[in-house]
Amino acid sequence: MKSTVTLERYYVLPCCLLLLNLCNAIISYKAQLIHDSFLRTLFIMGMVLFGSSLVAFAVAPGLIWTVQSLRRTSRSTAGSLGEATFLFALGMLIFWLYYRNYLLGTASILPPAWRNGAF
């Protein structure tokens, strides 16, 4: 039980916060389409509240459940290799998204149909 709490506190939750920060960057990027400052502020506040709720109540528990199920499966087959591989892949995915976001811009992590000027 102690390793589960440690895993939650020191790896999964920070990864979820990093994903939330990426969601906030996407929200700020998409808010540029709204020219009225009052509506833009309302949009940003609403979407940040929605995104943080989604991360807190869906993404974080989903990642924790995935890690725990990998832990159970890997204990019976090959030790902790499955869990370690998943956590490494999660970290690399977040690093790759941040790399693209900060070096190439937020549009680079969005599908082409979601980019600002793709009407």
Q: What is the mean pLDDT of the chain?
A: 85
Ramachandran angles phi, psi of 23, nearest 5°: -60, -40
3-state secondary structure of 61: helix
Residue 32: C-alpha distances to residues 53, 92, 101, 104, 114 (Å): 23, 29, 16, 17, 13
Ramachandran angles phi, psi of 51, nearest 5°: -65, -40
Q: Which residues of the chain have pLDDT under 70?
A: 1-5, 8, 74-80, 118-119
pTM of the model: 0.80
How far is residue 22's CA from residue 69's CA, in Å, rounded to a whole number?
A: 26
